[in-house]
A = this chain, B = another copy of it.
Amino acid sequence: MDLKNQKKYFEFAKIFIDKVPFNKILGLELKKFSTERCEVGFAMKPELIGNYYQNILHGGVIAATLDAVSGSMAAIGLLEKSTDPNDEEFASRIKNLGTIDMRIDYLQPGRGEYFCASARLLRVGKKIAVTRSELHNENGEIIALGTATFLVG
Protein backbone atom coordinates (compact mmCIF):
# COMPACT_ATOMS: atom_id res chain seq x y z
CA MET A 1 0.00 0.00 0.00
CA ASP A 2 1.52 3.31 -1.04
CA LEU A 3 0.48 6.58 0.59
CA LYS A 4 -2.27 7.25 -1.92
CA ASN A 5 -3.75 3.82 -1.34
CA GLN A 6 -3.37 4.24 2.38
CA LYS A 7 -5.65 7.28 2.23
CA LYS A 8 -8.13 5.51 -0.05
CA TYR A 9 -8.32 2.58 2.33
CA PHE A 10 -8.68 4.82 5.31
CA GLU A 11 -11.71 6.50 3.75
CA PHE A 12 -13.18 3.10 3.14
CA ALA A 13 -12.61 1.92 6.64
CA LYS A 14 -14.22 5.17 7.82
CA ILE A 15 -17.34 4.36 5.82
CA PHE A 16 -17.53 0.84 7.10
CA ILE A 17 -16.87 1.57 10.75
CA ASP A 18 -17.29 5.21 11.77
CA LYS A 19 -20.33 6.26 9.79
CA VAL A 20 -22.56 3.34 10.70
CA PRO A 21 -25.00 4.44 13.41
CA PHE A 22 -25.03 1.15 15.31
CA ASN A 23 -21.23 1.01 15.39
CA LYS A 24 -21.35 4.28 17.37
CA ILE A 25 -23.60 2.63 19.93
CA LEU A 26 -21.00 -0.09 20.27
CA GLY A 27 -18.23 2.51 20.42
CA LEU A 28 -16.16 0.87 17.68
CA GLU A 29 -12.87 2.55 16.81
CA LEU A 30 -10.79 1.61 13.79
CA LYS A 31 -7.36 0.58 15.06
CA LYS A 32 -5.41 -0.96 12.19
CA PHE A 33 -6.07 -2.07 8.66
CA SER A 34 -4.16 -3.59 5.79
CA THR A 35 -5.08 -5.67 2.78
CA GLU A 36 -4.86 -8.78 4.97
CA ARG A 37 -6.21 -7.73 8.32
CA CYS A 38 -8.62 -5.22 9.83
CA GLU A 39 -8.87 -4.43 13.53
CA VAL A 40 -11.36 -2.46 15.62
CA GLY A 41 -11.48 -1.80 19.36
CA PHE A 42 -14.10 -0.78 21.90
CA ALA A 43 -14.27 -0.13 25.62
CA MET A 44 -16.53 -1.97 28.05
CA LYS A 45 -19.47 0.20 29.19
CA PRO A 46 -22.60 -0.62 31.20
CA GLU A 47 -25.00 -0.69 28.26
CA LEU A 48 -23.03 -3.45 26.49
CA ILE A 49 -23.61 -5.91 29.31
CA GLY A 50 -25.61 -9.06 28.70
CA ASN A 51 -25.33 -10.70 32.10
CA TYR A 52 -25.41 -8.23 34.97
CA TYR A 53 -24.51 -10.84 37.58
CA GLN A 54 -21.28 -11.61 35.80
CA ASN A 55 -20.62 -8.21 34.18
CA ILE A 56 -19.91 -9.71 30.79
CA LEU A 57 -20.57 -8.58 27.21
CA HIS A 58 -23.90 -9.40 25.59
CA GLY A 59 -23.48 -12.13 22.97
CA GLY A 60 -25.09 -9.77 20.49
CA VAL A 61 -22.41 -7.12 21.08
CA ILE A 62 -19.81 -9.74 20.23
CA ALA A 63 -21.72 -10.81 17.12
CA ALA A 64 -22.22 -7.20 16.02
CA THR A 65 -18.54 -6.36 16.45
CA LEU A 66 -17.37 -9.42 14.55
CA ASP A 67 -19.90 -8.65 11.80
CA ALA A 68 -18.64 -5.05 11.52
CA VAL A 69 -14.95 -5.89 11.36
CA SER A 70 -15.54 -8.77 8.95
CA GLY A 71 -17.64 -6.64 6.59
CA SER A 72 -14.95 -3.95 6.58
CA MET A 73 -12.35 -6.59 5.76
CA ALA A 74 -14.49 -7.85 2.85
CA ALA A 75 -14.82 -4.27 1.56
CA ILE A 76 -11.06 -3.75 1.72
CA GLY A 77 -10.65 -7.04 -0.16
CA LEU A 78 -12.92 -5.76 -2.92
CA LEU A 79 -11.02 -2.49 -3.06
CA GLU A 80 -7.72 -4.34 -3.32
CA LYS A 81 -8.97 -6.47 -6.23
CA SER A 82 -10.47 -3.57 -8.10
CA THR A 83 -8.41 -2.20 -10.97
CA ASP A 84 -10.24 1.09 -10.85
CA PRO A 85 -12.04 1.93 -7.60
CA ASN A 86 -13.79 4.82 -9.30
CA ASP A 87 -15.52 2.76 -11.93
CA GLU A 88 -19.12 1.66 -11.88
CA GLU A 89 -18.43 -2.04 -11.49
CA PHE A 90 -16.59 -1.44 -8.25
CA ALA A 91 -19.29 0.91 -6.96
CA SER A 92 -21.91 -1.69 -7.75
CA ARG A 93 -19.96 -4.45 -5.97
CA ILE A 94 -19.53 -2.33 -2.83
CA LYS A 95 -23.19 -1.34 -2.92
CA ASN A 96 -24.21 -4.98 -3.09
CA LEU A 97 -21.81 -6.10 -0.37
CA GLY A 98 -23.86 -7.92 2.23
CA THR A 99 -23.44 -10.61 4.86
CA ILE A 100 -24.87 -13.92 3.65
CA ASP A 101 -24.33 -15.75 6.92
CA MET A 102 -22.13 -15.76 9.98
CA ARG A 103 -21.14 -18.25 12.67
CA ILE A 104 -19.96 -17.12 16.07
CA ASP A 105 -18.24 -19.41 18.58
CA TYR A 106 -18.33 -18.07 22.12
CA LEU A 107 -15.18 -19.49 23.71
CA GLN A 108 -15.11 -17.62 27.02
CA PRO A 109 -17.29 -15.10 28.88
CA GLY A 110 -16.71 -11.55 27.61
CA ARG A 111 -14.87 -10.16 30.59
CA GLY A 112 -12.56 -7.16 30.29
CA GLU A 113 -12.09 -3.41 30.05
CA TYR A 114 -11.16 -3.09 26.41
CA PHE A 115 -11.82 -5.44 23.52
CA CYS A 116 -10.19 -5.90 20.17
CA ALA A 117 -11.86 -7.53 17.14
CA SER A 118 -9.81 -8.49 14.11
CA ALA A 119 -10.69 -10.09 10.77
CA ARG A 120 -8.71 -11.79 8.03
CA LEU A 121 -9.86 -12.39 4.47
CA LEU A 122 -9.68 -16.07 3.61
CA ARG A 123 -10.95 -15.73 0.08
CA VAL A 124 -12.47 -13.13 -2.16
CA GLY A 125 -13.88 -14.37 -5.45
CA LYS A 126 -16.18 -12.90 -8.08
CA LYS A 127 -19.27 -13.49 -5.99
CA ILE A 128 -18.31 -14.56 -2.48
CA ALA A 129 -15.84 -13.42 0.16
CA VAL A 130 -15.07 -15.44 3.29
CA THR A 131 -13.58 -14.05 6.51
CA ARG A 132 -12.49 -15.35 9.89
CA SER A 133 -12.50 -13.06 12.90
CA GLU A 134 -11.58 -13.08 16.58
CA LEU A 135 -12.40 -11.07 19.69
CA HIS A 136 -9.82 -10.64 22.46
CA ASN A 137 -9.81 -8.66 25.68
CA GLU A 138 -6.99 -6.37 26.90
CA ASN A 139 -5.13 -9.37 28.35
CA GLY A 140 -5.05 -11.08 24.97
CA GLU A 141 -7.55 -13.73 26.09
CA ILE A 142 -9.65 -15.00 23.22
CA ILE A 143 -13.38 -14.55 23.79
CA ALA A 144 -15.01 -15.44 20.48
CA LEU A 145 -14.42 -16.54 16.91
CA GLY A 146 -16.40 -15.69 13.80
CA THR A 147 -16.65 -17.08 10.29
CA ALA A 148 -18.67 -15.08 7.78
CA THR A 149 -19.62 -15.26 4.12
CA PHE A 150 -20.31 -12.10 2.11
CA LEU A 151 -21.95 -11.53 -1.23
CA VAL A 152 -19.61 -9.31 -3.24
CA GLY A 153 -20.86 -9.77 -6.82
Contact = CB atoms under 8 A, between A and B. Distances in A.
Interface of A: 19-26, 46-53, 58-61, 63-65, 67-68, 71, 95, 98-109, 122-123, 127-128, 130, 132, 142, 145, 147, 149, 151, 153
A35 to B, nearest CB: 18
A95 B56 CA distance: 13
Contacts of A122: 105, 107, 142, 145
A123 B23 CA distance: 29
Copies assembled: 4
Contact of A127 (B22, B23, B130, B153): B153
A interface SS class: mixed
Given A22-B61, A59-B64, A99 B106 contact: yes
A19 B47 CA distance: 11
